[in-house]
Amino acid sequence: MPSEGFRPVLEPILRSAGDLALQYFGQVTAEWKRDGSVVTRADRAVEDFLVDQLKRRFRGYAIVSEEGGHADGDQGTWHVDPIDGTSSFLEGLAHWGPTLCLVRDDQLVVGAFWQPRLKEFWFAERGAGAWRCDVRLKASDLARPQREQTLCAPSRFHLAGPVPWPGKVRALGSSAAHLALVASGSAAVAVVPEWALWDVGCGALLLEESGYSLFDAKGDPVDVARCPPGLPLVAGGPNAVQHLIRDGWAERVLSPVRLMRRGGDE
């Protein structure tokens, strides 16, 4: 399929997946997976829908999905999270939704994320830009973070102790949403202590195509399509990220935070 054909195909698929999730909204309870994270009947139903749609529309592509859905193929691999932010979904909040990314030849090619309660479609394609609905995203790094600017982090992040950030800290329950908000400039920086590619692939490409970056806890650039899953990430412009990595603060606290996240947050 030509690259320019991805958005017209993916957007209606993700919107329909969101409509399906909304049918379960407020109607399901949490189940616990072996890794301590939560899952619901809604996650499984949305995954079945997405995997089926991707098989139909992208023949020859492999699929790897969070709840176990899969397909074999050699044209590239779709990584699918049927509901990123299941905890937010269960709590009746707004920042959750289906997200996916395509990896080919160890490169992120496409990412998409739909938040049905906010009616926001996020899309990025390598070399073609990053978008929030119909607005193209463009980075604007901070000279120095201020009190009104936001750091997005997991809900238990405060247990790691004081955070060297002069602004606000928010936990929205979705890594995909956190990274998207940084790419749009609505948040200055995001911390993702633990992840899989289906969580962060779209957000990583949104950041790259808008001009922001992903770093590890030491401040070295990270390519999530090539590095081991779960490596702690700090996202944003270099000036904002510097507030978390300087003096080794991020490196000291991110591993403990990863342990605290066991039990399910996003």
Q: What is the pLDDT of residues 185-237, one digit of tens each?
A: 999 999 998 899 999 999 999 999 999 999 999 999 999 999 887 789 999 98
In a domain? residue 64: yes
Whether 107 and 179 map to the same domain: the answer is: no
Q: How far apart are the two ends of the chain, measured CA to CA in Å?
A: 33
SS3 93: coil
Contact between 98 and 114 (Cβ < 8 Å): yes
Contact between 203 and 180 (Cβ < 8 Å): yes
Whether 111 and 164 map to the same domain: the answer is: no
In a domain? residue 145: no
Q: Which domain holds residue 171?
A: 150-261
Query: CATH code at 18?
Result: 3.30.540.10
This prediction has a pTM of 0.92
Whether 17 and 131 map to the same domain: the answer is: yes
Give residue-wise pLDDT tens across range 103-132: 999 999 999 999 999 999 999 999 999 999
Whether 167 and 229 map to the same domain: the answer is: yes
Please state whether 133 falls in left (phi above 0), alpha (psi between -120 and 50) or beta: left
For residue 30, how many other CB atoms are within 10 A of its CB? 13
In a domain? residue 144: no
In a domain? residue 20: yes
Overall number of domains in the chain: 2
